[in-house]
Amino acid sequence: MQIIVTGGAGFIGSRLVSALEAFDSGHRVVVVDDFSSGDFRNLRHFKGDIISRPCEELDWDQHFGRQEIVSIYHLASITDTTVSNQREMVERNVESFRRILRFSQSRGFPVVYASSAATYGQADGLMKVEQQAAPANVYGFSKMILDNLGEEARELGMRVSGVRYFNVYGPHEAHKGKMASMVFQLYRQMKAGQRPRVFETGQHLRDFVYVDDVVAGTMLAATSEAGIYNIGSGKARSFNDIIAILNECLGTDLEPEYIPNPYIAFYQNHTEADISRSKKKLGYEPQYGLKKGIRAYVDWLSSNDAA
């Protein structure tokens, strides 16, 4: 019996792989990842097999047709939200998912795929799954199409769930460079003794969620009623809050350096996941507030060479 994780060499995917292996269900975990953005170091303790092919090119029937599959977690995606090549973004992200849906159709196992808060676009405030999608970039657009395909699959009776992640931070994200979380970027600056740089006035609010909560929500989605679920902390916090907590953790007293925001016209003031549905239907309960999450992360960073 196999559990398939696409994007398993990436940030969230590799934490999911570790959690699945630690859960010790007796199932074998197989990763599908083309290493377009992932890093083998995230899987240093992995015990399973890897198929290093793009999901949209893999012959799923040939590889997995004779295997018994427990579930597929589909996290593979172009994750650089600044990529502006619309064809590449849509083709890779959407065709990957279409292949997985075709393979899964009539096989009965659950498929959980990573969607994103980017589907909500410029909306400000509390974001509810029921509200109209309005992606502001092609990355968010590609995720909206995944949600549409997921909806169609559910109408055909398939067990397909989308998990809309908010601003995820935590171990195994160093390979993401400029796309790594603000917690990681600010940590790096402050650890080097530099003043942390944020857009003025540092008071914009985001839903920062620790990766282990995201992994827990993702695993719950595989065993719960199929649907779309917000996976965030459920609480918006500011960039200034991150800096204050990092100062505490690092024993520093570095003042933020506020820089002008070139995106001010369309920069969101406040994003926050409404997680009431995820709590009710998945039993999702985030375990990490911002302080606890940053503390756990700083501890991890101090004892790992990834930073």
The residues assigned a catalytic role are: 139, 176
Q: Quote the CA–CA distance of 9 and 72 in Å, as a whole number.
A: 15
Closest CA to 73 of 43, 104, 94: 104
Determine if 176 is a binding residue for ligand NAD (CB under 6 A). Answer: yes
Task: Say whether 57 sits in a helix, a strand or coil.
Answer: coil
The residue range among 62-70, 161-169, 220-228, 243-251 that interacts with ligand NAD, by the rule CB under 6 A, is 161-169
Among 3, 4, 10, 232, binds ligand NAD (CB under 6 A): 10
CB of 252 to ligand NAD, least distance (A): 25
Closest to ligand NAD by CB, 145 or 254: 145
Cβ contact 108:132 at 8 Å? no
DSSP 120: G
The H-or-E segment that residue 290 falls in is: helix 290-302
CB of 214 to ligand NAD, least distance (A): 8
Residue keyed to tokens 């859960």: 23
Determine if 11 is a binding residue for ligand NAD (CB under 6 A). Answer: yes
Among 71, 92, 272, 286, binds ligand NAD (CB under 6 A): 92
Q: Quote the CA–CA distance of 81 and 89 in Å, as a whole number.
A: 9
CB of 31 to ligand NAD, least distance (A): 9
Q: How many residues of this chain bind ligand NAD (CB under 6 A)? A: 30
Which residues make Cβ contacts (< 8 Å) with residue 228, sequence separation at least 6? 115, 129, 147, 150, 151, 161, 162, 163, 164
The residue range among 69-77, 97-105, 125-133, 260-268 that interacts with ligand NAD, by the rule CB under 6 A, is 69-77
Determine if 190 is a binding residue for ligand NAD (CB under 6 A). Answer: no
Calculate helix-pair angle for 138-155, 86-104, nearest 10 degrees: 20
Among 9, 29, 89, 246, binds ligand NAD (CB under 6 A): 9
Among 56, 91, 151, 248, binds ligand NAD (CB under 6 A): 56
Cβ contact 180:173 at 8 Å? yes
Q: Quote the CA–CA distance of 34 and 208 in Å, as a whole number.
A: 28
Among 54, 63, 136, 248, binds ligand NAD (CB under 6 A): 54
Token pair of 260, please? 């002008």
Q: Rule CB under 6 A: which residues touch ligand NAD?
A: 6-7, 9-13, 32-38, 54-56, 75-79, 92, 96, 114, 116, 165, 167-168, 176
